[in-house]
Amino acid sequence: MSLPNSPSEHPSEETGTTIVVLAGSLLFQDCLAEAMRPAFPGATILGASTPAELVHSHAMAKGPDLVVLSVDLQSGLKEKTASTIKAAVEHFPGTPIIVIGNCNDPSDVDNAISAGAQGVIPMTASLKIAIAAVQLVMAGETYYPRQVVPGTPTRTRASQPSAAGIEPLRAQFQPHNQVQRHPNLTVVGASTPPNAIDELHDSKANFTTREAEVLAALQKGYSNKWIAHRLGLSQNTVKAHIRHILRKLHATNRTEAVVLSQYLSPSGVAASTTRID
């Protein structure tokens, strides 16, 4: 089934991007597509229950840029889950696969990683976390819940998140080639110091009003050109603000900055009177 895009008023760096949502539930396809569109204006989002149905329903000139796959990750279905993920990997060679599903044990996530997933989003994650994870994977990073990492033996069961969704998942191992950034987030190959999130939580007035406006636009996926036009700035000034934002967040790129900004304390961003929409 096609999930057609609504015309976007905003030029975007995501124009020309194709995202495929594979899920057995039509409702899940539609809801996820609608949730993703504001973050990827201009992107084409296609939905289907299987890769075969996608090929039958849509004539695609090239492979998608990302596949979001809904599966049941729970331990009792390990073989079926791995088979589903491997089939998607084989059908879309070279395309990053990010999996969304219930995962109550680190071994469930490890199973998805072993099958070829570049990212795993638990159903307990917030929408902001899910969108940020998708953006990370599309930018070439890898997103996994903290309780499991590629190539590391599973040794402990994760604790359940609190109602606020921020209780640490208590893994008892620390990988050498990865940096723990947030209780529920691991970014492979990133450079932010391990205490960066704690600093963000404790920070006050990190950004000027203008930097806050630029950051709000980055969170919505808008391009430098659109931000400059909306805020009445030159593109060089926008780039300067982005450099300041990256430095204050200890981020190496704009996608990483968007992820880290989700964990700022409410007082960490100056109030803005300009609407970014």
Give yes or no for residue 127 having a pLDDT over 60: yes
Of 109, 189, 196, 104, the C-alpha closest to 149 is 109
3 or 98, greater pLDDT: 98
Give yes or no for residue 138 having a pLDDT over 80: yes
156, 171 in Cβ contact below 8 A?
Answer: yes
Q: Please, which pLDDT band fits residue 274 given cuts at 50, 70 and 90?
A: low
Of 51, 61, 120, 63, the C-alpha closest to 94 is 63
175 or 222, greater pLDDT: 222
Give yes or no for residue 150 having a pLDDT over 50: no
What whole-number distance in Å separates Cα of residue 239 and Cα of residue 242? 5
User: What is the average per-residue pLDDT within 8-35?
Assistant: 75
158 or 65, greater pLDDT: 65
Can you point out the beta strands (E) in the chain? 2-3, 18-22, 44-48, 66-70, 97-101, 119-122, 143-144, 178-182, 185-188
The pLDDT value recorded for residue 214 is 92
The pLDDT value recorded for residue 75 is 55
3-state helix, strand, coil in the chain (%, to 5): 40, 15, 45
137 or 153, greater pLDDT: 137
User: What is the average per-residue pLDDT within 52-68?
Assistant: 78
The pLDDT value recorded for residue 238 is 94
Q: 104-117 pLDDT, tens per residue?
A: 677 888 888 889 99
What whole-number distance in Å separates Cα of residue 226 and Cα of residue 233? 10
Domains and CATH numbers, the chain: 2-188 (3.40.50.2300), 196-268 (1.10.10.10)
Number of CB atoms found within 10 A of residue 157's CB: 14
Residues 6+ apart with CB under 8 A from 128: 262
Give yes or no for residue 233 having a pLDDT over 80: yes
Q: Please, which pLDDT band fits residue 4 given cuts at 50, 70 and 90?
A: very low
35, 131 in Cβ contact below 8 A?
Answer: yes
Q: Please, which pLDDT band fits residue 154 given cuts at 50, 70 and 90?
A: very low
Percentage of the chain surpassing pLDDT 70?
62
What whole-number distance in Å separates Cα of residue 2 and Cα of residue 234? 38
Residues 6+ apart with CB under 8 A from 31: none
269, 206 in Cβ contact below 8 A?
Answer: yes
Give yes or no for residue 67 having a pLDDT over 90: yes
The pLDDT value recorded for residue 173 is 23
5 or 71, greater pLDDT: 71
